[in-house]
Structure 1
Amino acid sequence: MRIVFRCDPALADHLPRPVPARAILPDWLRSMPAKAHSEIHGREIRTVKQCPPFVDAMSHGFMILLPCDMTVRNGAFSWDWAIPAPSTEGHPRSPLSFHVAEQLAGAPFSNGLAAVKFNSFWTIELEEGWSLFATHPVNRHELPFRLVTGVVDSDRFTDAGINFPAIWSDPDFSGVLPKGMPIAQCFPVPRAAPDLVFERFDEAHKAAYEKTVTEVLAEPGVYRKRFRAKRRHTPAHAV
């Protein structure tokens, strides 16, 4: 999968580039213990740090990053971002804009307030037949907002940036959102609808099920050692 990011040439030296999600896993995941004592089990058990599906979900795709430090005080947002004027007409210069609350009327996640909208400074081009799935950074509940998930046909919509609306979920937050903080986790998804096939276990599938479950319960690391696909690092190229 080749993903092409483009930006206004006047801003190229001022923007943090999107990065593979695996490159900016949070500090809390790195520092959390691999094992913790369970009163119920009466022994040490593995934490989610050793759960490949948990970590792989956080490592999947790429992250869009906040382009500058942003200060939040008493519900007000401010920033000091000295960048040149974009050379492209109609291009945003502000890192943030808003959706009025009425645009979310009836949505169960609306808090009755305006939604923040992280403006994009990169266009994204995918290969034919693929769309871009954009969601809140996976398992990142410490962030004071919740991104609204969306899908964009980025094999066709390639000439303008994708903006990322979010619900501000922590009204008590006061501080600085740092430049480079992940604001959206994105990954390509095929646009073709899947065929859903339903079958009953035959004897071979029953035997395979019983064998796999027995092995998984008998020792740790079976999924990681035998079933987890190796992730390959894909280098970035300037275009």
Structure 2
Amino acid sequence: MNVTFRCPPELEQVLPRPVPAKVGLPDWLRRMPATAHDEVLGVELMTVKKCAPFLDAMGYGFLMPLACDLQIDKGRLSWDWDLPATPGETYSRSPVALHAAAQVRGSPFEKGAAPMLKFNAFWTIELPAGWSLLCTHPVNRTDLPFRSLTGMVDSDRYTDNFINFVAEWIDPSFSGILPRGTPVAQCIPVRRESFDYRFEVMTQDETDAFRDTRDSMDGTAGVYRRDMRVRK
């Protein structure tokens, strides 16, 4: 499946490109140990670094990058981004914008009169017919000082405008630079289709298979990764 990104020609040389999520895994994941001693149980346990579902979720789809460095000082955002002048341009030249507080009134995201943050992207995204784009906060990235909201865009039809990403700023104590290229959203193509749901009681064969699988996973490390996982 092809995912096609397009940007204005004058921005081609200055924009960071979206990257496969598995390329943009955070440094803390690379640094953390594969096993750690648990003081309560008194045993050595595998960490999430060895958990295939955890890693597969973080590495699936692609990441949309912050367009330039953002300086944050006591809640004030500033940037120095020297974009080339383009006569007749119709898009914002700012890497961020504000989402009015009224737009989330009555939701858990409401924080008085404080507006939401909106990361402006400068790429259009096109998917094949029948596919939508699930856009969410980068998976398991609670280290980031913001949290992007989740939305779904029909990117097989909405192909001629940028997709921007609304986020709430969750770390008021943060002061410093949010670097260019910081992932502001993780995007996962999903096929649009309807679902039927069935609820059943296990047969004896299914109960035996369940018990065998459970016992195997309880007794041996890496069973899922070795025998059941499909490489993404």
TM bracket, shorter-chain basis: over 0.9
Aligned: 1:201 with 2:192: no
Unmatched 5+ stretches in structure 2 = none
**CA displacement 1:14-38 (0-9 Å, x = unmatched):** 1111000000111111111111111
Partner of 2:154: 153
SS at 1:22 equivalent? coil
Unmatched 5+ stretches in structure 1 = 232-239
Aligned 1:44-63 pairs, distance under 5 A: 44-63=44-63
Aligned: 1:74 with 2:81: no
Kept in 2, the 8 Å contact 1:15–1:67? The answer is: yes
Partner of 2:119: 118
Residues paired across the two proteins, number? 231
Partner of 1:21: 21
- Aligned-CA RMSD value: 1.1
Give the superposition deviation at 1:88: 6.4
Aligned partners of 2:17 and 2:23: how far apart in 1?
12
Give the superposition deviation at 1:87: 6.1
Aligned 1:147-226 pairs, distance under 5 A: 147-226=148-227
Give the superposition deviation at 1:93: 1.2
- Residue 118 and residue 88 in structure 1: after superposition, are their counterparts in 2 closer, same or farther (change >3 A)? farther
SS at 2:217 equivalent? helix
Please identify, of 156-165 and 78-87, the stretch whose mean Cα deviation from structure 2 is larger.
Answer: 78-87
**Amino acid of the residue matched to residue 170 of structure 2?**
S
Aligned 1:125-140 pairs, distance under 5 A: 125-140=126-141
Give the superposition deviation at 1:39: 2.0
Aligned partners of 1:63 and 1:35: how far apart in 2?
28
SS at 1:183 equivalent? strand
Aligned partners of 2:72 and 2:168: how far apart in 1?
14
Aligned partners of 2:204 and 2:85: how far apart in 1?
68
Give the superposition deviation at 1:85: 2.8
**Amino acid of the residue matched to residue 136 of structure 1?**
H
Aligned partners of 1:80 and 1:218: how far apart in 2?
56
Aligned partners of 2:69 and 2:17: how far apart in 1?
15
Aligned partners of 1:209 and 1:121: how far apart in 2?
48
Give the superposition deviation at 1:8: 0.2
Q: TM-score, normalised by structure 2?
A: 0.96
- Residue 39 and residue 72 in structure 1: after superposition, are their counterparts in 2 closer, same or farther (change >3 A)? same
Aligned partners of 1:206 and 1:11: how far apart in 2?
58
Aligned partners of 1:165 and 1:86: how far apart in 2?
26
Q: How high is the sequence identity, in percent, across the aligned residues?
A: 52
- Residue 7 and residue 178 in structure 1: after superposition, are their counterparts in 2 closer, same or farther (change >3 A)? same
Aligned partners of 2:198 and 2:87: how far apart in 1?
52
Kept in 2, the 8 Å contact 1:22–1:59? The answer is: yes
SS at 1:23 equivalent? coil
SS at 1:128 equivalent? coil
Kept in 2, the 8 Å contact 1:9–1:87? The answer is: no
- Residue 88 and residue 121 in structure 1: after superposition, are their counterparts in 2 closer, same or farther (change >3 A)? farther
Kept in 2, the 8 Å contact 1:92–1:121? The answer is: no
SS at 2:10 equivalent? coil
Aligned partners of 1:39 and 1:87: how far apart in 2?
64
Give the superposition deviation at 1:193: 2.0
**Amino acid of the residue matched to residue 36 of structure 1?**
A
Aligned partners of 2:185 and 2:195: how far apart in 1?
25
Aligned: 1:95 with 2:70: no
Aligned partners of 1:29 and 1:129: how far apart in 2?
34
